[in-house]
Chain A
Amino acid sequence: MKRRYLVLGMVAAALRGKPQAADTSYQKREIPKTDIELLYSMYNQSGDHSAITGGIGTEKLEVYAPELNLSFNHAKSTFSINAGTDVISSASTDRIDDVVSSASKRDVRYHTDIMYLRKIGKNQTEVGVGTGVSFESDYLSLPARAFVSHSTPSGLRKYNLAFSAYFDDLRWGRRADQSYKTPLQLIYPAELRYKEWYDVHNRYTFNVKAGIEQVINKRLVAAVYPEMTLQKGLLATPFHRVYFTNDSLKVENLPKQRIRVPIGLKVNWFAGSRTIIKAGYGFYRDNFGITANNFDLETGIKISPVVTLSPFVNVYRQSPARYFRPYHEHAPDAIYYSSDYDLSGFTSYRVGVGFRWAPFRYLAARGIFDEVQIRYAFFKRSDRLHAHMLSASFKFTREKKQNPNLNRN
Chain B
Amino acid sequence: MRIWIVFIFICTASIFISCSTVKPWQRTYLNDPGMQMAGSPGKTFEDYVQSIRTGSVVAGSYKSAGGCGCN
A residues in contact (CB < 8 Å) with B: 3, 6-7, 10-11, 13-15, 17, 20, 23, 25-26, 37, 39, 41, 43, 45, 51, 61, 63, 65, 69, 82, 86, 88, 90, 92-93, 107, 109, 111-113, 132-134, 136, 138-139, 141, 143, 154-157, 164, 166, 168, 170, 205, 207, 209, 211-219, 221-227, 229, 237, 239-240, 260, 262-268, 270, 276, 278, 282-286, 288, 290-292, 294, 298, 300, 308, 310, 314, 316, 318, 321, 342-343, 348, 350, 354, 356, 358, 373-375, 377, 379, 381, 385, 387, 389, 391-393
Contacts and interface: CB of A to CB of B under 8 A. Distances in A.
A292 B65 contact: no
B60 A391 contact: no
Interface in B9-61: 9-30, 32-37, 40-43, 45-46, 49-50, 52-60
Interface of B: 1, 4-6, 8-30, 32-37, 40-43, 45-46, 49-50, 52-60, 63-68, 70-71
A173 B28 CA distance: 54
B60 to A, nearest CB: 3
25 contacts: A3-B6, A10-B9, A41-B45, A112-B65, A132-B64, A139-B66, A139-B70, A143-B65, A215-B27, A218-B26, A218-B29, A221-B30, A224-B12, A227-B60, A237-B68, A263-B59, A264-B58, A268-B35, A286-B56, A288-B55, A310-B34, A316-B54, A318-B55, A321-B55, A373-B41
Nearest to B40: A373
Of B20, B29, B34, most A-chain CB atoms within 10 Å = B34
A14 B16 contact: yes
Nearest to A59: B71
Contacts of A43: 49
A222 B68 CA distance: 33
Nearest to A92: B71
Contacts of A294: 56, 58
Nearest to A394: B41
A381 B66 CA distance: 24
B22 to A, nearest CB: 5
A391 B27 contact: no
Given A212-B16, A237-B68, A391 B45 contact: yes
Given A138-B70, A282-B58, A155 B24 contact: yes
Contacts of A164: 63
A374 B45 CA distance: 12
B40 to A, nearest CB: 6
B22 A111 contact: no
B54 A318 contact: yes
B67 A111 contact: yes
B56 A284 contact: yes
Contact of A387 (B14, B53, B60): B53
Contact of A342 (B4, B6, B35, B55): B55
Nearest to B1: A285
A358 B32 CA distance: 12
Contacts of B60: 209, 211, 223, 225, 227, 264, 266
Given A7-B13, A10-B13, A373 B42 contact: yes
Contact of A270 (B11, B32, B37, B50): B32
Contact of B13 (A11, A41, A267): A11
Contact of A389 (B28, B37, B49, B65): B49
B21 A20 contact: yes
A17 B19 contact: yes
